[in-house]
Each structure stands twice: as C-alpha cells, then as structure tokens.
Structure 1
Amino acid sequence: MKTTHKVILASLVCAIPLGLLAHDKYEDKNQKNENYKESFKSHFFEDDKGDHEDYKYEREFYEKKGVNYIFEGKLEEKPKTGFTGVWKISGNKILVDDTTIIIQEDKALKVGDELYIAAKRQNGQIKAVEIEQD
C-alpha cells in the first residue's frame, strides 16, 4: 500500500468519529435551548392546562412582544409624575414607556404594592411589556 493511501485511510479513521461526536454535541445544544423555551412557557403559562381562549391569547401576545422575563415583586420607586420612566421593583430597574400596559385596581399604584411584571430582557435592560397590580 502506498504511503498516501495509508495517510488518507488513517485520517478518515480519525475524522469520521470526531465528526459524529461534533454532530451529537450540536444536537444537544439545540435540544437544551428548546427544553428551556418549553420549560419557560410551561412555568409561566401553567394556568393554560385546558384550551381556554383567554390564556391562548395572552400567551400569543407575550410571544409576539418577545416577553422572556416574568416575575413578581414590590414596588420600591416610580416616577413622581406619570408612569413613563425607570421603576425600581424588588431591586430591579424596569424601563416603562408608552407601550407598557399597566393594569391597576381601583386604587393608584404606590410604593410597597405587589406587582406582576411581564418584560423583555435584552442588552442588560429590562423593558416592561405589562405591569399588573396584585
């Protein structure tokens, strides 16, 4: 057998298993991301056990708006006038603008109120999509 044939054969013997291992690692990474998305949805939409239309529309709305961060917390600070600006909720700085939906009961929001926040987190900022008074 020629030397070139031996080199080619040896490289194929080494390259094929490495290629298979790399492919498995790639699939595991993608599977992990899909599992995270599903766990996020199931955790925050656990009320959606049945096929209720309200929950379906809420989930679709959140997905369209890119909501990837949902939490509850106490209101610590808010702008003195109006709603637009930076709010501090349980130590998190939340950006609230004109597109944020704010749902409050009969009483006005005040420091110490428990809030439910659906937000979009990106580039180190948290932008509120919806704030609801608990």
Structure 2
Amino acid sequence: MVLNKKYVFPFVFIALGGVLSSCSIKKQGLPLHGGIISTLENRYPQDSKIRLAYGPSVVLHISVIHFQEIKELCEERKGTFEQYTMDAGWCIGDNDRPQYVFFKDIFDNGKGTISIAEKGDGVSDEFWVAYTKESYKYFWDKKYGN
C-alpha cells in the first residue's frame, strides 16, 4: 500500500488530536478555597477531571467511590448530612446555609460519577441560599416538610 504524502499529516493530526482530547481535563469556575471541591480536587486529581461553573455555583463531577468521604467531610465541617434520595442530598451548615449539594445529572449517567455543587468563590452567602432555594427547592421542601 502506498500512502500519499498529502494525506499523512492530516491523518496523524486528527488521530493525535482525538487521543489528546479524550484525556483532557476541563476546569471552569473558581471553587471556594478550602471548600469541598478544592479539597477533593487536591486529594484525588485523577478522579476529578471535570469542573463546571453554573451561575453562582461550581460543580465537580467526581468518582462515586469518594461518596463516604464526602459525607465525612460534611461532619468534619460541623454540617448536617442529609440524603433525600439514593443519589441526591446536601450538607447543610449553620444558619441553614447549604455547604454543598450532591446529585447525579446527565453528565454522570453511565460514568460512575456524582456531581457536587458549592457556591463559587466570591459569591455571597445570601445569594447562594437564594439560589439553592430556587434550584434545589425539593431539598428545602423536604427539610421543612412543605
């Protein structure tokens, strides 16, 4: 088989680009310094490759093998861990301020990951609470029996 030289470079470029993009790490948004997301990213960089910004929150997709540690970190930070469904709940702190919310979303389906959302760096507590009351209304309703 004879390869035409004008097709070799594009083929190698496309093949290499596909390999590199499949290994990419996507990081958006600034998590809280010392928050749950920055803690997990520092401890498990291999399991926390996708972090996205959604409005005032930063969402980390991390392997479900760290679920127990997510619960323990809540207790260490003097929060109350509340799990409302098999794969959704939150860690709520003093003054009824959610420290973080965990859930499975469309990006987690079939990947063995769970999403953790916490307020982004620079977001006020008041804005974060208002956002969670709107976006995670189910949790607030379950907590207060509405």
Q: Which has the larger radius of gyration?
A: 1
* TM-score using structure 2 length: 0.36
